[in-house]
Amino acid sequence: MCRLLAYLGCPIQPNRLIYQPEHSLEIQSYKPKETITTSVNADGVGLGWYDNQQDSEPFIYKNILPIWGDINLPHLSRYINSGCCLAYVRSATPGQASNLSNCQPFSCDRVLFIHNGFIENFRDTLYHPIRKHLREDIYRKIEGTTDSEHIFALLANELAVRGTSLPVALTESLKTLTKLAQLDTISFSANIVVSDGQQLVASRFARGTSAPSLYWLLKDTAFPNSIIIASEPLFPGKWNPFPDDSILWVGKDLAPTMHQID
């Protein structure tokens, strides 16, 4: 299982979350506490962020090295100053290649996406059904082979076809994935965080299996006027576990709302 991290609030240097905490994202890459299927996340690292001064598409850094072998990210994450960023360390699903096309975050226009989870036997189960569900232009934007990018394509398709909000698009994408999986009783898990720079939307969701761990922390003393979402708590604090089958939405006002997915 991958480990996820997202931040929205007053601008910070991402290294304060990726490297500095006692249970930082870097430490979670080789010493996670709450993973079930793996004990190491060594198949890549990614960081996506939004600029504080200009209204532009997000910026992305990816590497197929494990985070502890990446000599550039420590410097980059100290140089960046952002009020909204997403990061992850990867544990590749067996059979999925470790290349940059398969690394997250994935993006489309202003939207960033990270995913922790899997689709059971993806290449033999939902690979073609998902692609058949997509609009042609969304289909053509898929560059890699992962289940994660195909779930993102469902979200991008929902946004393109219906023009809905991010919370609605994520909810409907998970419902579509559930319907496709039910046809052959395929299990999947979908801990997801998406953003457009102005909001974070996150899900903890699974069918036929247990969802990975996911937490959120609001206005901690060390990070006032912010919200942090993480697969595992980074440091002691009032971390709130996501309930099963839930979606959390929070905007710049930092007033989170949560609802259950039927």
Residues labelled as active-site residues: 2
CA distance 121 to 147: 9
Residues paired with residue 199 on neighbouring β-strands, in sequence order? 251
CA distance 87 to 116: 11
Q: Are 17 and 87 in contact (CB under 8 A)?
A: yes
State phi, psi for 198 to the nearest 5 degrees: -110, -10
Q: Are 244 and 207 in contact (CB under 8 A)?
A: no
State both tokens at 79.
Answer: 């140089």
CA nearest to 45, candidates 27, 59, 65: 65
CA distance 94 to 97: 8
The residue type found at 101 is S
Residues paired with residue 202 on neighbouring β-strands, in sequence order? 193, 248
